């Protein structure tokens, strides 16, 4: 990868990190509150169904984590495994696509699409 592409990936990693800094803090807050008295699907869906704000939040959250995790894993694979660079880059792209699809599918399901 050229220096320019590497720099861009680094920037995307840090930008997604900043988004996640806020999103994960919110997520942890939600979890700690929600787990009181046990978690039920009903509680989760009730909070999300038809709620545009939460929907937007989770769409952005899922995208950011997909990008952040994939680029992060790419670095780990490059530094700690003997796998060829080309293969690692392909794995990264595939991982982003898989994680975004799975994440957005989950958000869509909880928001109320498809049910």
Partner 1 sequence: MRRGRLIAASRNHPTYWAFVVHRLSGVLLTLFLPAHFYVLSLAIRGEASLDGFLKWTDNPLVKAAETGLIILLAAHLTGGLRLLALEFLPWRDWQKSMVALSGGVSVAIGLLFLLNAF
Partner 2 sequence: MVATLNVSIWRGGERGKFVSYEVPSRDDQTVLDVITHVQRHIDPTLTYRFACRVGMCGSCAMTVNGTPRWTCRTHVSRVTGTGRLEIAPLQNLKVLKDLCVDMTAFFDKWARAKGAFVATAEKGADFVRIKPDGRRRRQADAAIECIGCAVCYASCDVVTWNKDYLGPAALNRAWTLVNDDRDGGNKARLAAVAGDAGCHSCHSHQSCGELCPKHLNPTASIAGLKRATVLALLKGAL
**Alpha-carbon distance 106 to 101, whole Å?**
9
Which is closer to partner 1, CB of 1 or CB of 43?
Answer: 43
Binding-site member from 1, 6, 8, 21 for partner 1 (CB under 8 A) = 21
- Which residue do the tokens 């680029």 mark? 71
| Binding of residue 19 to partner 1 (CB under 8 A) | no
Residues that bind partner 2 (CB under 8 A): 1-8, 10-11, 75, 78-80
DSSP 58-106: HHHHHHHHHHHHHHHHHHHHHHH----HHHHHHHHHHHHHHHHHHHHHH
Where in 59-88 is the site for partner 1 (CB under 8 A)?
Answer: 62, 65, 69-70, 72-73, 76
Give the number of other Cβ atoms within 10 Å of residue 53's Cβ: 8
The site for partner 1 (CB under 8 A) is made up of 14, 17-18, 20-21, 24-25, 27-28, 31-33, 35-36, 38-42, 44-45, 62, 65, 69-70, 72-73, 76, 98-99, 102-103, 105-110, 113-115
């Amino acid at each position: 990868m050229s220096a320019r592409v590497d720099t861009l990936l680094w920037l995307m990693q840090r930008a997604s990190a900043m988004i996640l800094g806020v999103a994960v803090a919110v997520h942890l807050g939600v979890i700690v509150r929600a787990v009181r008295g046990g978690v039920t699907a009903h509680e989760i869906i009730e909070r999300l169904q038809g709620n545009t704000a939460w929907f937007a939040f989770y769409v952005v959250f899922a995208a950011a984590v997909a990008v952040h995790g994939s680029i992060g894993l790419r670095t780990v694979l490059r530094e700690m495994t003997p796998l060829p660079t080309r293969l690692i880059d392909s794995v990264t792209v595939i991982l982003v696509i898989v994680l975004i699809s799975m994440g957005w599918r989950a958000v869509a399901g909880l928001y109320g699409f498809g049910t």
